[in-house]
Amino acid sequence: MVKDQQSAAISPQTPRLFGLPPLVSENTRLLVLGSFPSITSLARQQYYAHPQNQFWRILQAIFPSSPRGISAASYQERSAWLLAQGLGIWDVYASCEREGSLDTAIRQPQVNDFSGLRLRCPQLQLIAHNGGESFRHAKYTATLGLPVLKLPSTSPANASWSFERKLAAWRKAVAAAGLL
């Protein structure tokens, strides 16, 4: 008997992983949704904690008033700065099974409940999915009645896009949310 690929890729010992809480405020105008935190991000309990992920570098380049070195600041400082810009972060998946950090290894995902976002973030203008795996679930975020964009992933696994090309796409999204 042949097992399906999804079952074969995960061993019976693969634990269920649980994501991070949303990093949002009542001033959030642009919500960036990733797929699920990397192993590094889960271990540190920080969004985009992998040093090669370009998320923080891209935001620092977009916001000219950002403190120099915000990408190297403490997570608490980065989080406060991010919220002050009107940005928020969350993930599409609340939990999943996965070995490693690649989106292609995600199995048995449970999608987050987005229904309360408009109440938590009354100024929300735009949802931006950070990469293709996240964007696969745009049907859930589209029910909020807001524009939904697909952005190039900031992950180091997305080597086909240069930093400059990613930066241009992300800058456009930030401007569309009225944050520039």
Give catalytic residue positions.
53
Rounded distance between C-alpha atoms, residue 79 and residue 6, angstroms: 35
Measured in residues, the chain has a length of 180
Q: What is the CA 89 to chain-centroid distance, rounded?
A: 6
Rounded distance between C-alpha atoms, residue 32 and residue 28, angstroms: 10
Give every CB contact of residue 165 below 8 A, 6+ residues apart in sequence: 152
Rounded distance between C-alpha atoms, residue 29 and residue 166, angstroms: 20
Q: How far is CA 8 from CA 2, 11, 35, 102, 105, in A?
A: 9, 7, 22, 16, 11
